[in-house]
Amino acid sequence: MAPSITTTHDRLLEAAGEVFADAGFREARIRDICARAGANIAAVNYHFGGKEGLYRAVLEHAECHAGGAVALDAMARLDPEDQLRAFVRGFMARMFEQGKPAWQGKLMVREMADPTEALDRVVERIIRPHWELLVEIVARVAGPGVDRESVELCAASVIGQCVLYRNCGPIIDRLSPGHRQARNDREAAQATIERTARHIADFSLGALAAMRARARADGGPA
């Protein structure tokens, strides 16, 4: 990181965002963060009171830069099906992209795999908005005949498919070599993500269509 543009406080925040997003809270080393920020180790304690304080600050910072991802309005004109496609694509992108906008997604997934003290805050501020949006979309796709519990199970199914690729990359690479995510080739990686997102959306839409049809068959004539 360029140590010239901002204050130590801000450089620390920036560097911590990257490191926490990539390594998670526990595996992140504050010596590493400080090295990237060109700051002294004691600076973390001085400015943020400790590693946890720094993590909380990064979360707050990430919340501000949430962007318009969690906006149903932006997709209001789309079919529910296309809304789901857009959601999955956006969700996947957030998990794999590089740069600041992706922090939120990565931190979210990290907190899923390995919760910290800040779990409640992360759930309420970051995860729940995404979740509510997805549930809303799934409910529309599934149609009115499907009860809330089933809708939530379906939403969880969608999330599960997405998260797998983030958390189990090494195993997927070994099991399904053709799917190897070219880590260095940005374009190839992007294409793989795109393809995977399309599969997840299609898979889920197929499932939801079946569920809708079944609900109609069950509930309609009754």
Partner DNA sequence: GGTTGTTTAAAACACCTGTTTTACCTTGAG
Partner DNA sequence: CTCAAGGTAAAACAGGTGTTTTAAACAACC
User: Using CA atoms, how far apart are residues 75 and 88, in angstroms rounded to an integer?
Assistant: 13
The span of 10-18, 34-42, 78-86, 156-164 binding a second copy (CB under 8 A) equals: 156-164
- Residue 16 touches DNA, criterion: CB under 7 A: no
H helix intervals, the chain: 8-27, 30-37, 41-48, 51-64, 80-96, 103-113, 119-122, 128-142, 148-167, 169-175, 186-219
Q: Provide the minimum distance between the beta carbon of 184 and a second copy in the complex, in angstroms, as a whole number.
A: 20
Q: Provide the minimum distance between the beta carbon of 169 and DNA in the complex, in angstroms, as a whole number.
A: 22
Q: Which of residues 168-207 bind a second copy (CB under 8 A)?
A: 168, 170-172, 174-176, 178-179, 196, 199-200, 202-207
Kindly determine how many residues on this chain lie close enough to bind a second copy according to the rule CB under 8 A. Answer: 49
Phi, psi (rounded to 5 degrees) for 28: -65, 135
Interface pattern 49-68 for DNA (x via CB under 7 A) = -xxx----------------
Q: Which of residues 101-140 bind a second copy (CB under 8 A)?
A: 111-115, 119-120, 123, 127-128, 131
Tokens of 178: 């053709």
Q: Provide the minimum distance between the beta carbon of 186 and a second copy in the complex, in angstroms, as a whole number.
A: 22
Sign, CA torsion 101/127/11/26: negative
